[in-house]
Amino acid sequence: MFRRFLSAAATPFRAAATPAMSFPLKKPCKLALIQLATGNDKTANLKHAGEKVAEAASRGANVVVLPECFNSPYGTEYFPKYAEPIPGVTGAHPPESTPSYNTLSALASTHKIYLIGGSIPELDPRTQKLYNTSMTFSPSGALIATHRKVHLFDISIPGKIHFIESEVLSPGMTPTLVDLPEFGLIGIGICYDVRFPELAMLAARKGAFAMVYPGAFNMTTGPVHWELLGRGRAVDNQIYVALCSPARSAEAGYTAWGHSMVIDPYAEVVAVTDETEGIVEWVLTPERITEVRKGIPVTVQRRFDVYADISVVGPTEE
Ligand SMILES: NC(=O)CC(=O)C(=O)O
C-alpha cells in the first residue's frame, strides 16, 4: 500500500489495474519550482522559503515545490541537528518542535496552494530514527502526504564524491502518490529516488500526471545525470517530471548542481534555470499528455503476456 497517505482522498496502491489513462490531469495546473538559496540558519531558511513561496503564489502557481533539505545544509553531520518530528505521522508535537511543518502548513493555507515542501531531516521520536522526508500540504494547510526517501544516497566515486546517507538516515518503505482532487495524482520521489525507474513507473501506471523530485545533485553527477534521469522518467512514462534543486552556494560543504527543470511527457525540457536562485514555472496541460500518448501509444502497447505488470504486483509490505 501507499501507506504514507494521510488524506481521506488517498488512493490505495493496490487499486484495480490501471484504467486507460487518457486524462490523468483534469485541468491545467501551474507548477512553480523554487530553486532556493539556503544556509546554516534554519529560521532564516524557513523565512526565505516563505518569501519565495509567496512570490510564486502571487504569479498564480497552483502547486509550489521546494528543494531537498530546504531547511538544513545537505550533509550527514547536519541531519541530526536539524531534524524535526512531523505531527500526524508520529503523533502530536508541541509547535516549537515542528517549525518546518508549521511554516509549510501556514504557507499553503495563506496562499491557497498545494505545497510540496521539498524535504527536511525528520526525526521519528518513537524509534529515534532519522529520515529524509517530503511533506505535501493542501490549500487548507492540511498535511496530505509524506514521502520518506526510499533510496538513500550512498555513493563513492574516488577523487570526486563520497556520500553515505545511510550512516545516519533510515530509508522510507513506501512509494508515495498524492491526490490533488482538482488536478489528479502526483508521485513524489526525493533526489536519488529518480535513479530508480520503478517509483515513476508505479506512479504513472496508477494514473499520476507527474513525478516531482525535490533533489540536490552535485557537481560530479549533476552535469551528466540530472537532466538525463529526469527526461528518462518522463519518456518512459509519458508524464511530466519536475526536478527541484537548491541554488548553488560557494560556502556550502555540498555543492548543489542547480538547474531545476520541468520536463514534459515528450521528454522535452520546457522550463529550466541555471545554478542561481530562481523560480521555474510551467503550466502542465491534459492536452499535452493526450497528444504525446496518442502519437506514441506505449501506454496501451505493453506486453504483460511477456513480462510482469509491476503496478499489479506492487511493492512489498513494510
Ligand atoms: N543527492 C542525491 O540524493 C542524489 C545524487 O546527488 C545523485 O544521484 O547523483
Average model confidence (pLDDT) for the chain? 92
Grade residue 17 by pLDDT with cuts at 50, 70 and 90. Answer: very low
Q: Which residues contact 156 (CB under 8 A, 6 or more apart)?
A: 162, 163, 164
Would you say 270 and 262 are in contact if contact means Cβ atoms under 8 Å apart?
yes
- How much is the pLDDT for 196? 98
User: Is 221 near ligand 1, meaning CB less than 6 Å away?
Assistant: yes
pLDDT score for 313: 64
**CA–CA dist 244, 232 (Å, integer):** 16
| Position in ligand 1 atom list of the atom nearest CA 151 | 3
Question: Residue 193 CA: which ligand 1 atom is closest?
Answer: 3
User: What pLDDT does residue 85 have?
Assistant: 98
Residue with cell 511477456: 306
- Short-list 111, 40, 96, 95, CA closest to 71: 40
Ligand 1 mean position to 27 CA, how many Å? 32
CA of 7 to the centre of ligand 1 (A): 29
Does the pTM surpass 0.95? The reply is: no
Q: What is the C-alpha separation between 249 and 271, in angstroms, rounded?
A: 22
Which of 156, 192, 257, when mutated, tests ligand 1's pocket best, judged by the most ligand atoms within 8 Å of its CB? Answer: 192
pLDDT in tens, 120-154: 999 999 999 999 999 999 999 999 999 999 999 99
Quote the CA–CA distance of 52 and 65 in Å, as a whole number. 10
68 touches 214 (CB < 8 A): yes
- On the question of pLDDT at 311 being above 50, the answer is yes
Point out the residues that are catalytic. 68, 149, 191
- Distances from the Cα of 63 to the Cα of 111, 246, 265, angstroms: 10, 17, 18
Question: Cα(163) to centroid of ligand 1, in Å?
Answer: 9
Model pLDDT for residues 59-110, shown as the tens digit of each residue: 999 999 999 999 999 999 999 999 999 999 999 999 999 999 999 999 999 9
**Nearest atom in ligand 1 to 163's CA:** 1
Task: List, as own/partner pairs, every contact residues 89-95 make where C-beta atoms lie below 8 angstroms and the sequence separation is at least 24, other chains included.
Answer: 89/4, 89/6, 89/122, 89/124, 89/143, 89/146, 90/124, 90/125, 90/126, 91/125, 91/126, 93/125
β pairing state of 120-124 and 114-116: unpaired
